[in-house]
Structure 1
Amino acid sequence: MNKFSRLLTLLVLLSPLQVMSEDTQNQSENSNHAEQPQFGGPDSPQGQFEEAHRPKSPAFRFPILDSAFSDWKPFKAKLDDEYGLKFGGHYSTMYQTNGDDNGWGGNFRLNLQWTVIGKDTATPGYFSLLVDNRHALGRNGAPGTFGKFGQYGVTATQFGDFDGNFKIITMAWNQRIDKDTGYIIGSYDPNDYLSVQGYVNPQTTFSNVNILLETSQALPDTAWGIAAGHWFNDSVYVQGGVTDANGYGGDGNVFFEGGAEFFKWVHLGWSPTKGDRYYKNLHIAAWHTDEREDYGQEAVWGVSSAINWTFNDVFMPFAKVGFSEGDHDFFNNTATFGILYKVMSRSDFIGIATNYGRFANGHKNGLGGESQISSELFYNFQVSQHFAVTPSIQYIDNPLMSDVPENAETIFGVRARVDF
């Protein structure tokens, strides 16, 4: 049986969906809302703690796997209670192939949060540290390399290669001023806050960066800066920030090496309640990047809008559109549409989405007027409390970085993750 057949068989075997009563799911989600970040998205350091602590109903029970964590959780809870120290992480691996090429990579992540002041109050101050070791496995490189399989973008987000090194993704001070207002200062990833929707977690949902992020933006990365947010009431909030326009996650946290060149952003959102921000949200965002002299990029700006809405605690359709003016590394016009379906009798969910991206006419990268469509289907199968497997299929129409004149690429993948 070839690789395509094995992966297709796995997708079919994992696809049956079941539904249970809304009451059970409501109780589960309500328990999550208390731990939701004040402003960050699901992939922010605080969002990852929320995901790790979320009650799960796996398809199977593996006493050996689950019992391995029986003493671990009380130990972590004791550290949090006595010292305000939270920590966790995961090891995940992803394999992708299009039949001619393949990539296999791993991601070892450590997540630390130390509440220094105001523990168990409405105004805590805490230090957050997120460290990744992203590495290739095998001889054909990591699947998260930009342009691999011909797509303009990344088909396996967070599965690049740091050459065996640990890199700091977040190192910042977080402060709540009151129950409605907070800020972060230090080295952080603006993509954890700007234009974020409730499905954006490359470790549990989609893997394609064009679907996960708003790729009409001159995508910022981990960099030194500051951001703040404020809830005007229980529904309307605003966020904004400034970071080093030249920073990225693999630069060793170099401090403004390119000088005073900034990425600035603002995000205005609405949800029925604060606790619904992941599940029911409408927002608009605007951004501007200064001219990056050493990089040879002109000043660019853009706007975007997005909505996601959960119906009956089962279906979450989402959509977003974006526009940018000026030449930068990503698209000038984008549109993304998709849906998530929760398997309510288990902690499984299935997702499907499509992204359209187009460069403006005359773009300096030689792709002016060209467009690309990226689609992905995945099934996140929660095998046990701490172990999940996610098979996926991606279809790239008109892959703009293909070495051969291909009209399309089909990419099969599987991701496995153990959290601790």
Structure 2
Amino acid sequence: MADAQSQSTQPPKTHSGYGVSNSLEGGDSVVEDLSVDDIAVDPVLSFPKIEGFFQPYFDWKKSLNQRFGLQLQLSYQALYQTTNEDVGETNALADRFQIQGAWTLLNRGTKNAGRLTFRLENRNTINSDIPPSQFGFQFGSVAPSGTGFSDFGLALTELAWRQSTFDGRFKFIFGKISAISWYNTHALSSSMRGFQNTALQSSLSKPAPGRGIGLGFGYEINPNLVVVAGVHDANGKTAENPFDTIGQKEFFSSVELRWYTTTPERARYDKVSLQLWHQDRLEDSGTPSSIGATFAASHLFNDRYYAFMLAGVSDGKASIFEKDVLAGVGIAIDTKHRINSDLIAFAVSWGDPSTEALREQTTAEVFYRFQLAERFVITPSIQYVRNPAANIGFDDAWLFGLRTRWTF
């Protein structure tokens, strides 16, 4: 698997010495980005002079971490999507620039560290009327085809305190955080490194509040059994002031039990999880109180073949689907005798909407993540939607995309 180097018994080679993350979160995570994106890979093209030019910058990052416990990362990503379907807009392009970091201020170098995490980002459309996050809605899909590539401008999307106690067995987080990256995810859930369509990142039978004020914790019952739970602002909006909605006192609550089927070091890949959730009634929108459950299972075979399956059911109108199932596979590609840096992945989902007026929808996506140069990745993709739920005028639709990402 492309990121399996971070889970091997030998410490991976890194640019800034950040090491392997012990986060309990999925793809949309500051600490996961800091760890995974710092791993050095073997690209197709090598530019020694350019790498030499940037080396003092990475040495400076390493010194910040060693002296002050401050880890920093910058990234720039762009997504272009197009379709040949007869819809209003046939092209969508947006970019996303991020500055994020983790500053260990308590008990640095121990298992009971406390750190401040943050993410500042800027998302904008480029020469298009709509961003990729809205592109699929044109032909009636109820799942965003370009997750994470919206158009809200500059915003502080995370500011949180993370603390570990009891020799690292108990972890908690409080602040402006994600309510969805903690639960029912798989190793290819990241919209920056994995699938682009939301329906293939996690079960859409659970609600998806934006980033708002939340409290979460994880407890290691034993090395292979962990419980993760949290309470989040159900009205949170990622790009807005979290204090604007927390006063409504309407919450999304969740508890998830995880079993790591092999070793904790392979927790990202080899696990089974069961989540139970509840969301309060939302007065402004009239959304009734809702409950539900999700299930996920995944395994990495021979450090190359990754298989996953997720499913969920719900009672209420808080989620897109009343029930859904998704499954997929990722295959690491050994090119030019390199360590596995490239990845081809395919997944398909079926969902039955929670709104009776909508029809069942099937969504599929295939992508190839191509490590062109050190810290620069291109990812072409194809998406197919069968029976778009909100538009009986379409039997199916095709989307073609190209995502680029540069981390430094």
Alignment TM-score > 0.5, same fold: yes
TM-score, L = length of structure 1: 0.89
Q: 1:148 to 1:254 in 2, by over 3 A?
A: farther
Does the alignment pair 1:327 with 2:327? no
For the pair 1:410 / 2:404, whether they are aligned, the reply is: no
Structure 1 counterpart of 2:147, from 142, 154, 157: 157
The 5-angstrom pairing of residues 3-402 of structure 1 reads: 26=8, 35-100=20-85, 101-145=90-134, 147-162=137-152, 165-177=153-165, 178-257=167-246, 259-271=248-260, 272-344=262-334, 345=338, 346-360=340-354, 363=355, 366-367=357-358, 370-402=359-391
Provide the TM-score with structure 2 as the length reference.
0.91
Q: How far did 1:323 drift?
A: 0.2
Name the aligned partner's letter for residue 93 of structure 2.
W
Distance apart, 1:349 and its partner CA: 0.5
Match in the other structure for 1:11: none
Shift of the alpha carbon at 1:30? 6.5
The Cα shift of 1:47 comes to 0.4
Secondary structure in 2 matching 1:242: strand
Q: Which residues of structure 1 form unaligned runs of 5+?
A: 1-18
Q: What is the RMSD computed on CA atoms of the aligned residues? A: 2.3
C-alpha distance 295-68 of structure 1, shift in aligned 2 (>3 A) = farther
Identity of aligned residues (%): 26
Q: What is the CA–CA distance in structure 2 between the aligned matches of 1:35 and 1:161, rounded to whole Å?
A: 32
Kindly state the Cα deviation for residue 220 of structure 1 after the two structures are TM-superposed: 2.4
User: CA separation of 1:25/1:215 partners in 2, compared to 1, >3 Å: closer, same or farther?
Assistant: closer
Whether the 8 Å CA contact 2:332–2:343 is kept in 1: the answer is yes
Q: CA deviation at 1:23?
A: 10
Shift of 1:24: 11
Structure 1: how far apart are the matches of 2:384 and 2:193?
A: 19
Q: Deviations over 1:257-284 (max 9, x none)?
A: 5511111000100112221111101100
Paired residue type of 1:294: D
C-alpha distance in 1, partners of 2:75/2:5?
30
Unaligned runs of 5+ in 2: none
- Deviation string, structure 1 residues 174-200 (Cα, Å, up to 9, x no partner): 001122111001110022211122221
Offset of 1:232 from its aligned partner?
1.1
- Secondary structure in 2 aligned to 1:70? helix
- Structure 1 residues 28, 382: closer, same or farther in 2, change over 3 A? farther
Any idea what SS the aligned residue of 1:319 has? strand
SS in structure 1 at match of 2:388: coil
Distance in 2, matches of 1:227 and 1:86, equals 22
Report the residue type matching 2:45 in the other structure: F
Contact 1:225/1:241, CA 8 A, preserved across alignment: yes
Counterpart Cα distance in 2 of 1:86 and 1:141: 34
Deviations 1:354-388 (A, max 9, x none): 0111124xx36x32xx1101100000000111100
Contact 2:199 2:349 in 1 (8 A): yes
Partners of 1:28 and 1:55 within 8 A in 2 = no
Deviation at 1:149, TM superposition (A): 4.6
Aligned residues: 393
Compute the displacement of 1:52 (Å).
1.2
Asked if the contact 1:333/1:357 (under 8 Å) is kept, the reply is yes
State the alpha-carbon separation in 1 of the partners of residues 332 and 345 from structure 2.
9
Q: Which amino acid aligns with 1:285?
A: Q
2:60 counterpart SS class: helix
Specify the code of the residue in structure 1 equivalent to 2:164. Answer: R
Aligned equivalents of 1:153 and 1:359: distance in 2? 11
Amino acid at match of 1:166: L
CA distance in 1, matches of 2:94, 2:302: 37
